[in-house]
Amino acid sequence: MFSPASLLSLSSLYVLLVLLSCFFGGVSSVPTKVGKGYRLISAEETSDGGFLGHLQVKQKNNIYGPDIPLLQLYVKHDTGDRLRVHITDAEKQRWEVPYNLLPREQPPALKQTIGRSRKNLLTVSELAGSELIFSFTADPFSFAVKRKSNGQTLFNSSSGGSDSFGEMVFKDQYLEISTQLPKDASLYGLGENTQPHGIKLYPNDPYTLYTTDVSAINLNTDLYGSHPVYMDLRNVGGEPFAHAVLLLNSNGMDVFYKGNSLTYKIIGGVFDFYFFSGPTPLDVVDQYTSFIGRPAPMPYWSLGFHQCRWGYHNLSVVEDVVENYRKAQIPLDVIWNDDDHMDGHKDFTLNPVNYPRSKLLAFLDKIHNRGMKYIVIIDPGIGVNSSYGVYQRGIANDVFIKYDGEPYLAQVWPGAVNFPDFLNPKTVAWWGDEIRRFHELVPVDGLWIDMNEASNFCSGKCTIPKGKQCPSGTGPGWICCLDCKNITKTRWDDPPYKINASGLQVPIGFKTIATSAVHYNGVLEYDAHSLYGFSQAIATHKALQGLEGKRPFILSRSTYVGSGKYAAHWTGDNKGTWEDLKYSITTVLNFGIFGVPMVGADICGFYPAPTEELCNRWIEVGAFYPFSRDHANYYSPRQELYQWKTVTKSAQNALGMRYKLLPYLYTLNYLAHKSGAPIARPLFFSFPAYKECYGLSTQFLLGSSLMVSPVLEQGKTSVKALFPPGSWYNLFDMTQTIVSKGQYFMLDAPLHVVNVHLYQNTILPMQQGGMISKEARMTPFTLIVTFPAGASEAQAKGNLYLDDDELPEMKLGNGYSTYVDLYATLKQGSVKIWSEVQEGQILGLGSKSIGLNDQSDEHK
């Protein structure tokens, strides 16, 4: 959905910031070194094999507030490939990401007295026990994490006496810690932001993490999600090693990456580090998602093509869109409504004039019978209206976030709203009941949760104006019309350290919930802000799964660590420009690393209108996003794929191939759910030893061996593409082969052509395609087998997962699923293909030897 920040670039907010500065305080410069650090004064063994230590501040100061004098350090090898380092106040409980939202082991309770162990660990420099070795220096305290197998240091918080960064700082509202880095380390992650330099983190670019309703067109700026995790890939003597570092903290933070160091500056919470040893990129995401939660299983139909627009004014328009896709012979599985279906923009309602229930139900019966699906949007803001049942029941159940003891008042599309508090168990139950009621009204097939950073058209403490309508109905709906006062009375609204919010050090309560507002059990919005969309996704997932026992589909704009367990994601309000097309690849690949593999960007751009050529090229990329959806803004011209004849042809070609690949994509979905493996991946996931791939952001892989090399520039009819060493086969014409020694090739790419290549030693399961995934799923299978060009002997392998995708779980052993390992060998001029069924059964894939010149569909 369009939002106020989407209208304005961040630079245009500067005037607003000048006006706000008198209320929120000025922007202060950041001292290079804030404190003198801590010393380790005691340590003892713990019964679980870790150790517990205490850190004493060396020298107090009041920069950003007083230092916390005594800290508790807890270190443990959680698994053979995961190490935890937890540092908090030793005398007072501090805010942490709630353990019920992201389940994990609790650290030891705070101790009233400082103990000393039988074995004086102050004389022990290392804590081994896994592939990761923890070591420390007592005074000033610093710690390092090394890899056991090769001794490489992965994290080192010691400044070593250099001026690159200071010692560890731990204050109530300011935490700072740094690590040294080798200059040849390649870092990825730390989102969500739009990175103009590509997927690899770029030294001295700003990385601020704080969920914000800021359009994705703004570069190097905190956007909708917060993911304080990075992957570090290093090539050591020609051998690649990857690891990841997660700082599990939901407070706003700046992360400064200088190339040879990385520094965190955080406005609250604790240091809760998790180190994942890898050593391959796939190992890293496996270990990471094992901890944060495996990606959600997605319904088969969700891998089809989706069409949406803000501005489908009535049901007849939606019906025409579906019919026009059918006439144009462009595949379409899911039709969406933005808030056009609502009565006055209110959640869980229908507009009785434009979307009458009886006609909508008849339409849904029609598309459901064909196998198509219907999804609608819901925003978190609940309209303040005494005749609105959803609001009445919310007030009765006391489910809203509070300010001064009353529901916090904000403004979104319905006008005045209150925000549900999803940290409150009563809210989760109420939300589930409202979804159940709405589903009885309209049997939607999924839900789209938007504006959940949370977005607010106003700032501060607001009241409903007397004697005037709000919103007026004549101007833009995103202009604040409540009577509001900026809040400066607490340190939560005006913290001593200003993170670089929105790229301009915007006050952290600007256009969102006031940070001194209160959640369930007294939790401050200041601490829980970036968890809002995550907690809403959990509640929505629970509600949908409880409706009919089916597999839920949820699309969320705001995400946090672990969101992929519950929801898919799209990259938000992008622009119909060539630059945004290119940026979309980086963001999609980043979310695969974040554990949210079902991700895509608005195809052809959300606003303004794309050119015809751009939309051609965008569908050629978007057809291979894991989540493939065309979505446009209310104020843009219509841009459904059938609006141009040339785009129709490109869509038929690219989406036609996607629908043939659905069994492969669904198998990747299964593998993502089981091991966290991204569906769309950077090339270095499959070729980590090939350093040329490390910064490549204009190509990507689907799975381990299917490479997409799109045109991303205006007027181009060819594309320069990197081919890692080996044989690559054009998926649209298997007679075209590229044999690479690890080099770039210039590929022909006229307007309707996208280059997709399949790597050697692969078995790719495909079907014949169709206009709807249900139809495509009924067609015969084809196995594409690739060997190195010119080889006399070779092997290939692949896999295939099938199930009843209505089931909530995606697993083997339930009697409704099949998993097949596929194998092929080339020897003495013959190819033998066979399968090993791991679970269930599948027909027609038995052993058979064929000649090399056999071109039958079944054994091509």
Residue among 62, 108, 180, 789 at smallest CA distance from 497: 62
- Contact, 569 vs 602, CB < 8 A? no
Separate counts of helices (H) and strands (E) for the chain: 14, 47
Residue 525 appears among annotated catalytic residues: no
Q: Which two tokens stand for residue 809?
A: 């779980």
Catalytic residue among 167, 338, 343, 453: 453
Active site residue 232: no
Q: Which of 81, 232, 338, 573 is catalytic?
A: 573
Q: What percent of the residues of the chain are helix, what percent strand, and what percent coil, each to the nearest 5?
A: 25, 30, 45
Phi, psi of 414 (to 5 degrees): -75, -10
Q: Any idea which residue has 């969700």 for tokens?
A: 302
What single-letter DSSP state applies at residue 853?
A: T
Compute the distance between CA of residue 230 and CA of residue 245 in angstroms, rounded to an integer.
Answer: 6
Buried b (16+ CB within 10 A) or exposed e, 474-507: eeebbebbbebebbbeeebbbbbbbbbbbbebbb
Using left for φ > 0, alpha for ψ between -120 and 50, and beta otherwise, residue 521 falls in: left
CB 285 within 8 A of CB 678: yes
Residue type, 803: D
Contact by Cβ (8 Å): 452, 382: no
Annotated active-site residue 527? The verdict is no
Beta bridge partners of 240: 235
Between the CA of residue 824 and those of 487, 787, 794, what are the distances in Å?
68, 9, 8
Tell me the two tokens of residue 563.
């969101």
State the catalytic residue, choosing from 254, 340, 343, 450: 450
Over its C-alpha atoms, the chain yields an Rg (Å, rounded) of 27
Residue bearing tokens 């959940």: 452
Rounded Cα–Cα distance for residues 766 and 488 (Å): 60
Rounded CA separation 309/573 (Å): 12
Which one, of 562, 471, 473, lies nearest residue 229 by Cα? 562
CB 759 within 8 A of CB 726: yes
Asked whether the CA dihedral 13, 19, 22, 23 is positive or negative, the reply is negative
Tokens of 434: 């409202």
Which two tokens mark 476?
């833009």
Residue 375, token pair as written in the block: 């999804």
What are the residue numbers of the active site? Answer: 450, 453, 573
